[in-house]
Each structure stands twice: as structure tokens, then as C-alpha cells.
A and B are shown apart, each in its own frame.
Chain A
Amino acid sequence: MKTFYWLVKREFWEHRGGFLWAPVVIGGIFLLLNLMGVVAGEVFGAQHGIHSMFDNTHMLDHPLSADEAAKAGMLMDVVMYSSSFIISIVLGFVVFFYFLGALYDDRRDRSLLFWKSLPLSDFATVLSKVVAGTVLAPLIAVVCGVITGIAMLLLYVIVLSFHGIGAWHLLVYAHPFRVIANLAGIIPLYALWALPSTGWLLLCSAWARSKPFLWAAILPVAVGIMLGWFNLIGPHVVGNGWYWGDVCNRILLSVFPGSWLGIGSYQYIGSGHAHALDALNLGSAYGVMGTPDFWIGALAGIALLAGVIWLRRWRDDS
């Protein structure tokens, strides 16, 4: 267990830039852009004498009805989620390229020979990389996302208070703990959902003698094109749609958080604030686990990882 802890820590040391600084910097830029927007709005408003934005300041003077409170709460939750949304896109790219390099870079610079001179099992090494990519990196991203989200809320409340609008009491209608629980609670689902991609990308990383990205991306696409061609000229073997959606898509893009959300997940968004964020609730998110596709994907990912461990055992620096 101690060895495993240090193995994951090693991954963090090596990839501090992607795991920690990328979400921190993106969060910072997100805050800065919002601040710039607010300042621009203030300056523009002052120059043109537009104050209508804050004319109905008395709106907040009376006690809020339950409906208004729920609306305000939802709005603030959306603000908190928005930063995590941006960070999660970046996280997808970070994890994608982390896995592609994880078992390739040390073969290329031959530091593999140093790691292999230590009493470490290949199983533990590969597992530490899986955990670093699909548990540690998302965890750091969630922490950064939540901190950025809370900073955003404070930014807007402070701006409002400059206009004499006391919005501090509204903060109690937000659901920071629910937001944190929803974001952190999704990580196990993410780790399982990402398994096919994790396995495929690590397999290419462990196998390729050069250019793992090209192998990882071009091989599935080429297979898809061949399949389409066969379907065109001959008997229908397997569906193109099935291949692109359930194979190619899953082995390449499942490391992107939220890629489990299908069309169905968005049906509530337009149907009023009470259900607008349902897709992000753990209950509905984990609903995807009820489908056989989810578990077939996870098993395929684990099978790929077994291949990765075998390759890691026998590939050397040549």
C-alpha cells in the first residue's frame, strides 16, 4: 500500500503541470475573464448612463418567495458548476495525453531502465497510472472547480454590494455542498466509464515504438472506414453506427468527463428550474450504470489493461 501511494505520488510529481497547474490556471483565467466582463460592463454603463440593470434594486428588499429562492439557488449553482465545466474539458485533454505518454515517454528517454531496476511490479505501476489519471487528476480538478465557483459567487455578490444591493443573504440559497457532492461523487463513475479509453490509450502507449498518438487515433478510424466500405459493397456485417458510437467513441473519448450524458440527459433542461440540473445529480448520472453497454465497456477496458501490464513487462527501451 505504501509502495502504491509513492507510485501515485511519483505520477503527480511528473505531471504536476497537467494535474495541478492546468486546472488552477484555467480557473484563474475564468475568474479574470469574468472580472474583465464585469469591469467592462461597469465602465460601459457609466459612460452611457445606463443604470437600468440595477433599477429594480427593490426586488431584493422583500423576503423571497419559495419559488424565487429556488430560482436564485439554481442560478448560483449554475455559476458554481460553470467553472467546473470548463475545467472538466481541460481535464479530458490532460488525461488523454497523460495516458498516451504514461508508458511511452519513459521508454523513449530510457528512464524505463531506472524504474525497472527497482522492485516494482508492472501491475502496480500500470494501476498507479490508471489511478493517477482517473481518480487523482479529477479530484484535483473538482477542488479547483469548486474553489473557482465559490470565488465567482463572491465576485458577483461584491459587485452587487458596490451598487448598494445586499445579496449576501442570497448565498444561503445556493447549495455548495450539493455541488461538491455531485462533482466529487461522479469521480467513481468517471473512472469506470473511462476504462475503455484508459485501456486503449495505455495499450498504445505501452506498445507503440513511436508516435503513440497516431496509432491510438488512426487505427480505430481506419478500421471504421474499412468497415463502412465492407458494408457498402458486401453483406452487412456490423453496423457503422454501432462501431463509431460504441467502439471508436468509447475507446477514444471516454476520458472526457460527462461523455456518458446522452441526448436523454438534456430533456429536463428546458422544463423549468426545478429539474434543470437533474442531469448532474448523482442519481440520474449513475443511471448509466444500469445499461449493459456501461459494464461491457468497463470489462473491455479491464481486458485491455491486462494486455497493457503484459506489454509493460516485456517491452524494453529498444
Chain B
Amino acid sequence: MSTVITANGLSKRYKTSLALDNTSFRIESGRIVGLIGPNGAGKTTALKAILGLTDFQGELNVLGLDPRKQRGKLMEQVCFIADVAVLPRWIRVREAVDFVANIHPRLDRAKCEAFLARTRLQPNQRVRQMSKGMIVQLHLALVMAIDARLLVLDEPTLGLDILYRKQFYQSLLEDYFDEDKTIIVTTHQVEEVEHILTDLMFIRDGRIVLDADMDAVGERFIEVMVGADRAASARALKPLDERQVFGKSIFLFDGADRATLEALGEIRRPSVSDLFVATMKGTYA
């Protein structure tokens, strides 16, 4: 397994705020990493740094290259979809495929056309005549036909209906992802990506506050449903979070002893969104 991204002491300061605060992390190849954080936590800045779109302090190595200096070379190996509506509105489907096929050394045109044949897109259709869902279909057909090693997705399904959203991740898993590829995805729709992620990174105020693979998350964090009578003893174990459902309390524990918790009540694996809410408590306060 090789390392795709190594970041060491990454910092980025805007005029009024610190978007990245001396952050370090590593991403290995063959992983699907969810970079999850509240608005303004530094997700997009981190992605922009990885893509060489912004300057920063610290060390960053992406596929053995420095994104600040070797951007042109890097982008042969990296693809990204930033939100859905970034394809130029004047371009036609035919022109987009023609252009990318001729300037990108790693695009497989036949593959791209096969992906497009599965959609309703017409060769002469312009982006401005498409719905958001169709635009993302076109973008995805282009990106999936490129044999890149790293795919960066920044809120790729924002504003899409549920059919397109499901289809988006399903296509990625079935026709694109393999052990040589790495996907980084940021999204607020955590429930949707929760089952495809292999790794989870929480970012808050420019720092990575949680960085673990999904198996480790399942072992470390435990949710337990406790009746009112035993709530006090559960509280004594210092839970991360507590909430009430139907007269019972649900406690979220980080690294507590499983046997002790089982004695208190019914235990289960917390959802990523519950974990997220618990971790980010007080962010906007």
C-alpha cells in the first residue's frame, strides 16, 4: 500500500481567519476518505491545497509531487469534481468529450462514450440546457474515463435529487473505484456516504479532530441506550454526548469498555452523523 498524500504542518491564513491550523495527515492508496466538517472548518481549503489551487505554509506531498510547483504534472493523475455546476455553460457534450480526449493523456474515449450512452445526454446538447443531475452525469462520465490515481470530490451531490445522488455513488463504486485509486469526498449528506467510506476524517477549525478507518471507528465509539434508572451511572462514565429518545437516554462513548456498557443497556454502533454532531458540539456557539 503506498501513500497518496502526506501533509505536515499545513497552515493557511486568510485575512480574518485561520483556515488550516498546523494540520498533519496521511492518506493511503485504495481508500475512500470522507472529509467531514462544519461550514468554514477548512475542508475546501484543504482540498484546494491538495489540488495546488491555493498557497499555504507547511509540507504537502501528493503522489510524490508538490502541488504548488508541479501542478500541471499532478493534474494528469488527479481529477476533481467541485460541486455540480462548474462545467462551462456554453459547452456541448460533444465538444467537452472532444476537448478532454485531446488534451488529457489518460482519458479513454471509448469508455467515456460508453458511460454517456447510458444517460439521456445528446451530443449537441449544451450544459446550459441541462438539469443539475445531467451536468453531473456528464462530468462523472468524463472523470470516470480518466485513469487517475486520486479523485477529489467537493460536495459532488449538492442540489441533486435522490435518484441522481444514489446513482452517483453507485457508479463510482461499480465502475471506477479499485485498490489503485483513492477517493476523497467532502459532503454534508453524511448518511449517503457512510456505507462506502473506508476512512473518516473530521475537521474542525482547521484541525483534524478525528482520523480513523471505519473499523476502528466501530470499535472505538459505542452508543448505548439506557433506561432512566441507570442514566446516572452511565453519566459517571463521562460520555461524549447524551440525548433523549422516548424517555430513554442514548449515550455516546469514546473508547469505553464494551462489557461495562453492555451491562447498562442495549449497545450499538453510532451513525457517522451522530458521531459528527457529538464531536462538533459547540462549533457555532
Contact = CB atoms under 8 A, between A and B. Distances in A.
Q: Do A and B come from one complex?
A: yes
Interface stretch (A1-9, A59-67, A226-234, A300-308): A1-9
B262 interface: no
B54 interface: yes
Contacts, number: 72
A110 B103 contact: no
Contacts of A111: 86-89
Interface stretch (A116-124, A162-170, A288-296): A116-124
B75 A113 contact: no
A13 B127 CA distance: 13
A316 interface: yes
Interface in A104-135: 106, 109-121
Given A111-B86, A119-B73, A119-B75, A6 B53 contact: no
Nearest to A7: B103
A242 interface: no
Nearest to A4: B103
Contact of A109 (B54, B88, B98, B103): B88
A116 B52 CA distance: 9
Interface residues of B, number: 32
Interface residues of A, number: 25
Contacts of A113: 80, 82-83, 86
A6 B102 contact: yes
Contacts of B55: 314
A313 B51 CA distance: 12
A55 interface: no
Nearest to A111: B88
Contacts of A314: 54-55
Contacts of A118: 75, 100, 103-104
Interface of A: 2-3, 6-7, 9-10, 13-14, 106, 109-121, 313-314, 316
Interface of B: 48, 51, 53-55, 71-73, 75-76, 78-83, 85-91, 95, 98-100, 102-105, 139
23 contacts: A2-B102, A3-B103, A6-B102, A10-B95, A14-B88, A106-B88, A109-B88, A110-B85, A112-B86, A113-B80, A113-B83, A113-B86, A115-B88, A116-B75, A117-B75, A117-B79, A118-B103, A119-B76, A119-B104, A120-B75, A121-B72, A314-B55, A316-B53
Please provide the 9 A-B residue pairs with the shortest distance between their CB atoms, ordered closest to farther: A111-B88, A119-B75, A113-B82, A119-B76, A113-B86, A6-B102, A121-B72, A3-B103, A114-B86
